[in-house]
Structure 1
Amino acid sequence: MQRTTSNEREREREREREREREREREQRKPRGQDSRIPERTEQGRTGSICKKSSVSPAVCREIPLLLLLLLLLLRVHSLRASVHSTTSHRCAP
């Protein structure tokens, strides 16, 4: 008898969780917009690219950071090159 009531309680909890998830999904949907536009995912814009390729989702999340790092390195390199070209080199007498 106790087992059935605990199973029923567990089923009821699961139903309540599912209702809560459904409410959250409904709240996230954009209102008054075209429903054909796909919802934006947590992965952002790289999500669709990762689904089409064989790249893992973890790598896809790192791509924007790697691009920023590359741009930063290029910027630092160009600044160092410009400073190097403008400095006067003194030769020993």
Structure 2
Amino acid sequence: MPAALASRTCEVRDLGAMRWGAAYALQAELVAQRQRGEISDQLLLVEHPHVVTMGRNGHASNVLASPEVLAATGIEYYETNRGG
């Protein structure tokens, strides 16, 4: 292993249960902090309540339940700029 990699650290954060939107916002902030060199690498451990995420390549037609049905059953729906 190259010496530069051997000396890197990674902080593990156990976030417990967290809504997807809050976790995504935290992840975006941590990415910005990491890019500025303010924090070391991060590993987030998190569990979300039921959620449907629609990535860049997804289509609403891929979800068989309407937004109203999802909301009525407590399932959150997010469109995201991530892959998928």
Compute the TM-score of the two structures, normalised by the length of structure 2. 0.23
More helix by share: 1
Q: Which has the larger radius of gyration?
A: 1
More strand by share: 2
Greater RCO (Cα-Cα under 8 Å, separation 6 or more): 2
